[in-house]
Amino acid sequence: MDALGGEYVSDFPAHGGFSAGYAGILRSAEGEAFVKAVSADGHADSRTFLRRDIRMLRSAPTALAPRMLRDFDGDDGTALVLEVVPGAHPGAPWTHAQLQTVAAAIARLTAVTAEEPVPAAQQSMLPGCARWAQIAEDVDLVSALPRGLRERMPRLLRLEAALPDALEGTALAHGDLRADNILIDGDRARFIDWPHARRGVPWLDGPLLVPSIEASGGPTCAESWRVLRDHGAPDATELLPVISAFASFLWWNQAQPEIPELPGLRAFQRAQADPILRWLGELL
C-alpha cells in the first residue's frame, strides 16, 4: 500500500491471460493501481515473466505502455505496481475500427529503436519459434497439417533456416500482442504485459497478432494484414519466415502436455494455429 498511500479499500482481480500469479486493481483511500504479484513459492515461470516485465517496462514508451509506479523483488516474491490504464479490450469479435486503432499503435511502436536490456528477437525466439524440423519428424503432427502444407515441408524447412536473418533489426516489438494485452480508449490503444518485448525486424508484432484476431471471430489473417499495410506494414511475403515460424510454434505447442498452472493455454494455441496455417498455405 506504500505506493498508493492510505488504507486498503478493495481489490478487483483481473480475468484472462495466462499467468499463475495475482493480477488486479488495488484501491486504497488515496488512489488505485494495477498490481501483479507472484509469491516466492508460486509458479516459477510466472515469476520469471514478471521479473522480465519489470525490466522491459523500464524501456517501454509510456505513450504505449503502462507507467510503472513501484516494483519489489525479494525473498517473499515479486510484485509490480502500475498505473491503471483506461479502456477496454478489443475482440469478441474484433471490429474494423478496433483493428485500425491497434494498427496505428503498432506503427508507432515499430518506429521506436529498442536498446538493451530488450533482447534481440533471435535470442528470445530461437529455438522456440523454429519447430518445423521437429514437426517433420512427428508423423501425427505432419499428418494433421493441411494437405498443402504437408506437401511443402521442404519449403517450410528452408524458411526456418532463413529465420535468424529475417528477424534481424532494431525495432521495438511487444512480442505477445493479443486482445487481453491491449486496451483501447477512444482512438488510442496501449499495450500491457511486456515480458516478451524484443528488438528485431519492423512489424514483428503483426504476424503474432493476426491469428488471434481470426480465432476470436474477427477478420481473417489476410484481411487484418491489409489493415496493417494501410499503416505501413510490408507485404506479408516479406515476413514469410516469421509467419512460418510462428505457425510452427503454435502447431508444435498446441500438441504438448497441458501446464496445470496455465489452464486453457493449449486450447488457445490450437485456436490460433488453424488460421495461421491456412494463411501460410495461401502465402506459399
Q: Where are the beta strands (DSSP E) in 95-164?
A: none
Q: What is the mean pLDDT of residues 11-17?
A: 65
pLDDT at residue 16 above 70? no
pLDDT in tens, 23-49: 888 776 567 888 888 888 887 888 888
pLDDT at residue 8 above 60? no
Q: How many Cβ atoms sit within 10 Å of the Cβ of residue 283?
A: 16
Provide the terminal-to-terminal Cα distance of the chain, rounded to the nearest Å.
54
CA angle, 160 then 164 then 170, to 5°? 140
pLDDT in tens, 54-63: 999 988 898 9
Judge if the upstream peptide bond of residue 117 is cis by omega within 30 degrees of 0.
Answer: yes
pLDDT at residue 209 above 60? yes
Domains of the chain: 8-82 (3.30.200.20), 96-283 (3.90.1200.10)
Dihedral sign for Cα atoms in the order 235, 277, 174, 228: positive
Cα 73 to the chain's mean position, in Å?
Answer: 24
Q: Is the pTM of this model over 0.85?
A: yes
pLDDT at residue 2 above 70? no
* Identity of the amino acid at 183: L
pLDDT in tens, 86-97: 999 999 899 999
pLDDT in tens, 150-207: 999 999 999 999 999 999 999 999 999 999 999 999 999 999 999 999 999 999 999 9
* Identity of the amino acid at 160: E
Among residues of the chain, what percentage have pLDDT more than 90?
Answer: 72
φ, ψ for residue 273, nearest 5 deg: -60, -40
Rounded mean pLDDT of the chain?
Answer: 91
